[in-house]
Structure 1
Amino acid sequence: MLRVTRIVGPAVLVAASLLALMVGLAYGGGADPRPIGDPGALVRFGLPIAKLFVNLGAAVTIGAIVLALFAFSPKKDEYHRALDVAASGAAVYAIAAGATGFLTFLNVTGTAITFDDQFGAKLGLFFTDVELGQAWLATTLIAATLTVLCFAVRGQILMVFIGVLALISLVPMAQQGHAAGTAGHDAAVTGLGLHLLFAAVWLGGLLTIILLRETLESGRIIPVIERYSTLALASFIVVAVSGYASAELRIGTLDHLLTPYGVLVLGKAAVLIAIGLFGAVQRNWLIGRMKAAGASIGRYFWWIVVAELAFMGIASGLAAALARTATPVPEELPGVPTAAEILTGEPLPPELTFERYFTVWDIDLIWLLITAFGIFFYVAGVVRLRRRGDTWPIHRTVLWVLGLLVLFYLTSGGVAAYQDYLFSVHMLGHMGLTMLVPVLLVPGAPVTLAMRAIEKRDDGSRGAREWILLAVHSKFAGVIANPIVAAVLFVGSLWIFYYSPLMRWSMTDHIGHEWMIVHFVLTGYLFVQSLIGVDPVPFRLSYPLRLLLLLATMAAHAFFGLAIMSNVGLFLADWFGAMGRTWGSTPLADQQTGGGIAWSLGELPTIALAITVAIQWSRSDTKDQKRLDRNADRTDDAELKEYNERLARMSGRG
């Protein structure tokens, strides 16, 4: 039965994917001949098939790596077999990506295949000078590198970086999807990127378990399935949310659901619901029965897993067909684009008022999910502590939740909607990310909560608790958590960001924008943690030195704001000065307002930090005095008597 499952599972996945792809292409017209410049049936059908195998290869690679890092023990053969599976998936990934790039060249240029120098020159030009060709060349090279690394590297720490490289390989594909060209570019890239990543973890993880079933020891399958089930549940939520967001961008209104694209989306949604039901049965019924039966796992379980894999194949095929089907909503903005539309891909919003800070939204799906999961897991940890009789201060929970809500607003609310058009709003968001959010999050002590609430593993594998401990105790964390280093990063990043090409990258590239958010939240968090943090750190300054460091930081921060206020030149003049904005203050006056925000409002959280440090200092002195008083009571003032006797002896000698 085990051998049959290992053969039938992948075969069912591929067959279901190809069948769903062919049906989707036939219904949606994704492979219909073009009236002008038709590349031929080979390209029309070969390109979506190649893209399907790109998705499947990426899924196997990423799913196997994630399971190796999260579910398998490096001390057991399962871990090494999983990396072999990842290497095999990466090989398929690389070959399929190369084929997709070649077929994309034929599809875009309409060039017939020949074996002369002219064809080779055109192909080389496509892969080196054309953005679309460069994307597929990069994907192919990264996938080939992953093949070698997954085969050669076995250390878990290095596999983390290889997993990050696998994640990076999805970026070029995310930037090529529907609506990733002009209107809705940022939301489209984010939605498709999240969809690709978590669908890969979901599908690839299940296929890896099937392929490694015989390798797993009789008692190992239960914890592995439990851990995969946790990953699958999170992946289902992200895939569902990102799928809805992407469909909303491409479909627009309800009447478009009756178009071929809309019907295929509905079909994929139905399949997704079915897969979710499979997962619910697995989590709520099968795992319990498996635990009750011990090592005995019936054939029905594996047939259910194969059926779930078949539905995943149908979803993969429909996804590949949707990528070739015309969307009801045009991908390009109608009419002649305005200056704001050329720069940002979005129409210029109406004039900013106080009300619009809270009524206009530009949801960033990444931070919506991060904040939602952050609140859920934190509250779940607190509930777990209370159920076993432990206590957790309520103010920590309140501050953590409030901090994540503020983070969500700054990345998705009115500040996010207007920061591309007004430097002052951009600076307001920056100050909130690097100063206000960390001041609220750090007192929540998330690392301490995780250490107390997450169960420790004893089978050699690493779960969330083990990875958090490894990160916190690493040498790199010890360096960047040093108070001096954290302060330098906190202040220095302000100057480097605004007076280097990093600012332009964050404004013109969505990935740069996401990097900016991560960077400023982390540098602010490290600085605040070094001053008032509850979580353990390798080294802390004394309270007087903390206040001195904070005062020096405040001075440098105020000087930064004054420098912007007095600047007569415009930051990114071809951006903020070229928006075609007819409302609000002039770009230079708005920039000076931004400097005032950095100088004034940016100091308010710093003052709150100073007050908190002073209060902690006072409480620390009170605790020390109480400790000394208790020691004196226990020893009958032995230290004081010894001190007085020593003074008496010294006086006698004098």
Structure 2
Amino acid sequence: MSSRSAAAYPRRVSTDAPAAVPTDGPAGPRPRRPLLSVVALLLPGVALAAVLAAAITSVTAGDVFETLGLPDPGTFTRLGLPVAKVIAEVGAVVCVGSLLFAAFLVPPQKSGTLSVDGYAALRTAGWSAFVWFLGSALLVPFIAADVAGRPVTEMLRPRVLVDLVDAVEQAKAWTITTVIALVVAIGCRLVLSWGWTAVLFGLSLGGLLPVVVSGHSASGGAHDLATNSLLYHLFGASLWIGGLVALVAHAARRGDHLALATRRFSLVALVCWIAMALSGVINALVRLPIGELLTSDYGRLVLAKIGALLALFWFGYTQRRRAVRAVVDRGSPTTLLQLGAVEVLVMLATVGLSVALGRTPPPGSLGFVPDRMERLIGYELHGPPTLTRLLFDWRFDLVYGTAALVLAGLYVAGVIRLRRRGDRWPVGRTIAWIAGTLSLLMATSSGIGRYSPGMFSVHMGGHMILSMLVPILLVLGAPVTLALRAIKPAGRDAPPGPREWLLAFVHSPISRVLTHPLVALVLFVGSFYGLYFSGLFDVALSEHWAHLAMNAHFLIAGYVFFWPVIGVDPSPRPLPPLARIGLMFAAMVFHAFFGIALMMSRSVIGEIFYRDLNLPWVTDLLGDQRLGGGLSWATGEFPVIVVVIALVVQWARADERAARRTDRRADADGDADLTAYNAMLAKLAETDRGPRA
């Protein structure tokens, strides 16, 4: 993934120069300055979105200030805040979509450097990231003024602004987003390789997270469902809207591989629409009673957004089929440009509705104060965690529960594809993978996941499942090998596809660094000490996004540790058998010390949070913590047993495969190796008899 210097990049990357003859698009010179076509495409939609957001917010926000008796920050702040938010969000979605286009919708050159079209999309992403940065930076004083009820001009004093940013979560979140957007904008000016473009794409998606976890969905009751559904909604909207803008801009500059980019984006758009529709319904049900759908401002805005999504579905499902057919069959981008421009306009109007919806309080939320348990964990716990409740008191986790079901479905689909073409796949690997996904589902969506935020002992039990049991079962399922066998190769001269992207990631420097024995050991075991004994866990307990991040860390750290130890897939850093056993036992020693340290500790980890939660059946916090330490210590033996069994089985199968290869070679060459060996022994015997005679 190394970047190339600007001097080494071919001169044809300049977006001002005429391009070469396209490979699957219409022939002819491309228009100059393609960034102007993007601006011309976006300006009407951005203006419409800003007007909608400002007009609706001026009414709903005024009602909020009047109802709660809060000081009004003034018309300029009330109108300027939604306009700044529209600018920031449009910049974000265009940046994300352009990076998606440059990394995955058009192929790079064979050297790994971006092609002309990829570089043009990267430049668009850079300018969009700069707009995202400006809009986010502008939002910080507007949000501070809105919360303080003072004009925004008073927020421009550094001392006042810093104090309010530190106190207001949304202002703090937009400050973090501002920094990420600036890093992405600078990165788009520096990189030229496909690998680093993919990294910037991931970073741009990460820049959307701080705002999601700090809005009104992250507070109040059921904030876990509201926040998780909003994650899907925002990611889907960003990829769909931004990807369409990039595709239409690509068609306007008559770029290469237009048919390929259109087919790939159509699949992305379908997945994004499904994610947006389902997550939007869930988020609305959490915040809006059905009876308030027609009688409240929030409900009417939800209905307007539903209408916009249905219109977008009509564009995507019926109209774009004509555009795709016109591009694929005739190589003409005219239909795509016409329909795409109208669809972008509707999408940006939907962005304006979303901004207004985010500024409108749900019915019944004004002055509503959730009880202690709903405020801290988002839902009620109806009694002590009995075995029945841990197994059957489910609350589906939209992030990890959905991930478990999707991973299981994709794996089964890959196995079915292999069997249909006559290839075999070991049943044991399938059983291991399905067991791993079921364990992930149980740890996050059953009673274990439900009680985990409220009790340290249950949290530690879920931690052990996510960091030890689930990764072991997943690596034994050999998902990379299955994917490489099930996905069709792109071919020597064809553009790279999912199979080539997967290979590039497996052999990337990131994978090599993560699977280094010392790095994997520190991530797997060192994070236990760093999380629980540094005070970080105390800070993370009250934040839903921190629970999501902890679960992700447990899974990733466990997977990169067990992959080179017992993984069936080839590791970027293969280890000899003794090194595998040594690494495993070193990890278990440190893990055992961690469990003992928890059991012997005299201070309660997360004491402030647990005392504020005050569960009636947890009267001894230190005893509950010691129980969690005992679970951690006791479960440390299980991975050793599984790893030793897996290594013995793998060695036995390796010997059997070696023996079979030797037998096949002997059958093919008439046992030439054995004949030559016997001849050598006979010659040595004659040489030995000669001196004796």
Deviations 1:358-398 (A, max 9, x none): 33334332223433432343333334434444343344334
Report the counterpart of residue 14 of structure 2 in structure 1: none
Q: Secondary structure at the match of 1:296?
A: coil
1:314 counterpart letter in structure 2: A
CA change 1:187–1:644 in 2 (3 A) is farther
2:605 is equivalent to residue 571 of structure 1: yes
Match of 1:62 in 2: 96
Distance in 2 (alpha carbons) for counterparts of 1:580 and 1:270: 44
Taking a change above 3 Å as real, the CA distance of residues 408 and 13 of structure 1, as seen in their structure-2 partners, is: farther
Where does structure 2 lack aligned partners over 5 or more consecutive residues? 1-25, 110-114
Aligned to 2:138: 99
The equivalent residue for 2:434 is 401
Structure 1 residues without counterparts, runs of 5 or longer: none
- Note the C-alpha offset of 1:63: 0.9
- Is the contact between residue 142 and residue 152 of structure 2 (CA under 8 Å) also seen in structure 1? no
**Which stretch shows the higher mean deviation, 580-589 or 444-453?**
580-589
- Does 2:420 align with 1:420? no
- Whether 1:514 and 2:545 are equivalent positions in the alignment is no
2:468 to 435, 443, 448: 435
Taking the aligned partners of 2:594 and 2:39, their CA distance within structure 1 comes to 64
Matched with 2:106 is 72
- Write out aligned runs for 1:37-436 (5 A): 37-75=71-109, 76-112=115-151, 122-123=160-161, 125-127=163-165, 130-217=168-255, 220-251=257-288, 253-258=289-294, 259-281=296-318, 286-293=323-330, 295-297=331-333, 299-330=334-365, 334=369, 337-338=371-372, 340=373, 343-344=376-377, 346-436=379-469
> Are residues 417 and 153 of structure 1, via their aligned partners in 2, closer, same or farther at CA, if it must alter by over 3 Å?
same
Tell me whether 366-375 or 125-134 shows the greater mean CA deviation. Answer: 125-134
Alignment partner of 1:474 out of 508, 526, 540 = 508
What is aligned with 1:611?
Answer: 645
Q: Give the equivalent residue in structure 2 for 1:29.
A: 60
Choose the corresponding residue for 1:639, options 670, 677, 688. Answer: 677
Q: Distance in 2 between matches of 1:430 and 1:151?
A: 41
In the alignment, is the contact (CA less than 8 A) between 2:46 and 2:86 conserved in 1?
no
| DSSP 3-state at the match of 1:213 | helix
The offset of 1:202, in angstroms, is 0.8
Structure 2: which amino acid aligns with 1:190? N
CA distances 1:313-348 after superposition (whole Å, capped 9, x unpaired)? 23212111111212014277637x43x556545545
User: How far, CA to CA, are the matches of 1:82 and 1:284 in structure 2?
Assistant: 24
**In 1, Cα distance between equivalents of 2:60 and 2:576:** 70
- Superposition deviation, residue 553 in structure 1: 4.1
Kept in 2: contact 1:16–1:314 (CA 8 A):
yes
Distance 2:152 2:593 in 1: 63
TM-superposed CA distance for 1:520, in Å, is 1.8
Question: CA shift at 1:119, angstroms?
Answer: 5.8
Mapped contact 2:218–2:544 kept (Cα < 8 A)? no
> Would the alpha carbon gap of residues 526 and 151 (structure 1) be closer, same or farther in structure 2, given more than 3 Å must change?
closer
Name the SS for the 2:551 alignment partner. Answer: helix
Deviates more, 1:560-569 or 1:587-596: 560-569
Q: CA 1:401 to 1:137, structure 2 compared with 1: closer, same or farther past 3 Å?
A: same
Q: Structure 1 residue 560: deviation in Å?
A: 3.5
Which residue of the other structure, out of 599, 614, 620, is the alignment partner of 1:586?
Answer: 620
Q: Is the 8 A contact 1:435 1:524 kept in 2?
A: yes
Task: Tell me the alpha carbon deviations over residues 108-161 of structure 1, each in whole angstroms, 9 at most, x when there is no partner.
Answer: 33334668x996653454346654433333333443443333234333333334
Q: Normalized against structure 1, the TM-score is what?
A: 0.88
Is 2:458–2:628's contact at 8 Å kept on the other side of the alignment? yes
1:272-329 Cα deviation digits (max 9, x unpaired): 1331232223675543453233x234x3333222232232123212111111212014
- Partner SS, residue 10 of structure 1: helix
Residue aligned with 2:216, SS: coil
Candidates 519, 522, 529, aligned match of 1:495? 529
Match of 1:159, SS? helix
SS at match of 2:293: helix
Specify which of 579, 590, 596 is matched with residue 630 of structure 2.
596
Describe the shift of the 1:51–1:475 C-alpha distance in structure 2 as closer, same or farther (beyond 3 A): closer
Do 1:33 and 1:40's aligned partners in 2 also have CA atoms closer than 8 Å?
no
Task: Decide whether aligned partners of structure 1 residues 413 and 113 sit closer, same or farther in structure 2, where only a CA change above 3 A counts.
Answer: closer
Given the superposition, is the C-alpha separation of residues 287 and 439 from structure 1 closer, same or farther in structure 2, using an over 3 Å criterion?
same
Contact 1:486 1:530 in 2 (8 A): no
Alignment partners' CA distance in 1, 2:95 and 2:614: 46
Match of 1:527, SS state, is: helix
Counterpart of 2:467, as a letter, is T
Larger relative contact order (Cα-Cα within 8 Å, sequence gap ≥ 6): 1
Task: Output one character per residue of 1:616-649: Cα deviation in whole Å (capped at 9) or x when no partner.
Answer: 2222233334444555661244325535754785
Moved more, 312-321 or 483-492: 483-492
In structure 2, what is the Cα distance between the partners aligned to 1:141 and 1:538? 33
Q: How much is the aligned-residue C-alpha RMSD, in angstroms? A: 3.4
Give, in whole Å, the separation in 1 of the partners of 2:207 and 2:590.
39
On the 8 A contact 1:550/1:610 being kept in 2, the answer is no
Alpha-carbon distance in structure 1 between the residues aligned to 2:321 and 2:642: 47
Q: What percent of counterpart residues are identical?
A: 34
**Do the aligned partners of 1:203 and 1:312 also contact (CA within 8 Å) in 2?**
yes
Cα gap change, 1:361 to 1:206, in 2 (>3 Å): same
Alpha-carbon displacement from aligned partner over 1:232-288 (angstroms, at most 9, x marks no partner): 22222222232223212211x321223221221122123213312322236755434
Q: Distance in 2 between matches of 1:480 and 1:149?
A: 23
Distance 1:79 1:483 in 2: 36
What is aligned with 1:10?
Answer: 42
Quick one: which amino acid aligns to residue 170 of structure 1? Answer: L
1:436-456: CA deviations, max 9, x gaps?
A: 111221122211122223344
